[in-house]
Structure 1
């Protein structure tokens, strides 16, 4: 893995040297913009309309527009200096339960590996988080942007989740046309709960596939081979008029899958029981849902 940041995690007066690595990767299929006439890739240049010339990176500064057309300028070194030591420190401020953080706050996950020194301090923090079942809430500055972060454990590795500040979360009241709190048909509610129960299962991320990316890759290979690509027409979905009928049809469709779940759930319980007996730590849970189990324990 490529190191993208070096610094330290601090809690109290303890400093843990760490190296940061991206925990996720973008698997989207990258396509370039071409000129249709000759298939030449388009180029994007940084140009100044006043000087009428292309501008190199060494001539670029950052500016804040405080009035229309009027800016205060900053060099990169000035912005870095404003952060001071915070640019190289992940400072833990508090320890909380993971379930107290709503998923809307989470941004991106990073792995934190041990630095060149301080392996003992790294192991100490990791073990302490595991045993207490807590996560650390910290501040960090990455790429000239300050953010909050959650320090937790994934398997045997410290991980950092950048999270939004509260004032970066838009109020729900800004969402238009939200329904007023009103009466719900009890029969429809009972059927909806039953449908949710039948569709409920343990989270198994490996069973979810990016079908769109697979379709695009298949189309790319067909085009390379000189084949014509024809997408099958998608059936039009009719507007749901009878909600009860739609719920009943959904329940009927979910029954075959629900019948297979007891065996898979029993297998999951057996696996967990075997791990518990052997002393192996349980699989970590993801922070992408409310009501999840604590990680790092």
Structure 2
């Protein structure tokens, strides 16, 4: 892997030089846009409508529109001079319990690797966090912004997850559909709990796969190899109807209970096979 950032974790008076790596990769299938007439990839030109000319990259600057049609130009030198102590430092501010952070705050995950000669303080911080059961809230400057982040132990490494600030989370009260609490019967609540119990399992991330991506890649392979693609016939949408909640819960509980029994059923031991070489077996079990 190639590091995307180099700096240090600031831990009290201790600085631990580290490298930052992306912990995830996007495997979504990407497409080019082509001209249908000749299948040539489409080009997107950066043009100035005032000068009516294509603008090269070196002539493009950042601008913040503070009023309609009026901009403040921000140069690279301006950004470099910003008084950010976190430009080359992951500054730990607090240690907290990780479960206190709601997942809605998390953005993107990274791995931290100790730089040359920093293995010992890195291991010390990781061990201390592991034994205390704590995670760290920190700040780091990435991609021209100061990001809030959480550091935690992940296997033998430290992982960093960038986070949203509190004022970036939209209030759930803005959802009009949850303003009034519906009346639920005791039977409905009990059946919902039974359904959850039937579907409860240990988290195994490997068993969840992107079926759409798999089907899309298969479609691409078939098209590339010239195979005939068969389309499923269109099915008319069913007329809308009110769902019988109790009936749906009962059917779901029955189906999931059967699935749970199948998973829990012990497998029968395979029958032993006896190999006979050049002869028959007598009644006392010895070869003739």
Matched residues in 2 for 1:231 and 1:183: separation? 44
Alignment of 1:114-125 (within 5 A): 114-125=114-125
Matched residues in 2 for 1:194 and 1:45: separation? 58
Residue 51 of structure 2: SS of its match in structure 1?
coil
CA deviation after TM superposition for structure 1 residue 196, in Å? 0.5
Matched residues in 2 for 1:187 and 1:61: separation? 63
TM-score, normalised relative to structure 2: 0.87
> Contact conserved, 2:173 with 2:179, CA < 8 A, in 1?
no
TM-score, normalised relative to structure 1: 0.84
Please, which runs of 5 or more residues in structure 2 have no aligned partner?
Answer: 267-288
CA deviation after TM superposition for structure 1 residue 85, in Å? 3.6
For residue 256 of structure 1, what is the aligned residue in structure 2?
Answer: 258
1:63-88 CA distance string (max 9 Å, x none): 11111000111112211321544211
CA deviation after TM superposition for structure 1 residue 234, in Å? 7.8
Query: Larger relative CO (CA 8 A, sep 6+): 1 or 2?
Result: 1
For residue 42 of structure 2, what is the aligned residue in structure 1?
Answer: 42
CA deviation after TM superposition for structure 1 residue 52, in Å? 1.6
CA deviation after TM superposition for structure 1 residue 176, in Å? 2.7
Matched residues in 2 for 1:8 and 1:194: separation? 49
Residue 77 of structure 1: SS of its match in structure 2?
helix
Q: 1:196 to 1:35 in 2, by over 3 A?
A: same
Matched residues in 2 for 1:127 and 1:263: separation? 41
1:205-229 CA distance string (max 9 Å, x none): 0000100000001101111121232
For residue 208 of structure 2, what is the aligned residue in structure 1?
Answer: 208
CA deviation after TM superposition for structure 1 residue 51, in Å? 1.6
Matched residues in 1 for 2:47 and 2:59: separation? 11
Q: 1:83 to 1:38 in 2, by over 3 A?
A: farther
Matched residues in 1 for 2:106 and 2:160: separation? 10
Matched residues in 2 for 1:92 and 1:106: separation? 17
Kindly report the root-mean-square deviation, in angstroms, between the aligned alpha carbons of the 2 structures: 1.8
Please, which runs of 5 or more residues in structure 1 have no aligned partner?
Answer: 265-297
Q: Which stretches of structure 1, 4 residues or longer, exceed 4 Å deviation after superposition?
A: 233-240, 260-264
